[in-house]
Amino acid sequence: MRNGYTYILSNAKRTLLYVGMTNDIEVRVLQHKAGMGSKYTKKYHLKYLMHFETFPLIEQAIEREKQLKNWHKEWKWNLIKAHNPELNDLAEDWFDESDIESVLTGKLK
């Protein structure tokens, strides 16, 4: 069994939010940072990780994603600010430019 993750991304101005889920948070965030996430995240440059949660089962992450997607935007911001009051990109130091380049060239480690 694999862990599951829900996550919330935002843009540089912190005006838009995107809720997603994955079984590999590092790879998925790297894909978003390289502009290879969903069409919506690519279009609006949503690549800053504001919040994420870990679950022992992927099914739990799916349920949490559904719940968060139904929340009002204000509720999502309150959740983010409770754990990340400075609204920092939590994945800021996870990758370097070579990691992003490896995704763009299809040579993901």
- CA-CA distance, 5 to 3, in Å (whole number)? 7
What is the pLDDT at residue 107? 60
Q: Is residue 77 part of a domain?
A: yes
pLDDT in tens, 24-63: 999 999 999 988 878 999 999 999 999 999 999 999 999 9
% pLDDT > 90, the chain:
76
Report the number of distinct structural domains present in the chain.
Answer: 1
Residue 67 belongs to domain spanning = 4-104
What is the pLDDT at residue 38? 85
Q: Is residue 109 part of a domain?
A: no
For residue 62, the domain's CATH number is 3.40.1440.10
pLDDT band at 103 (very low <50, low <70, confident <90, very high): low
What is the pLDDT at residue 96? 77
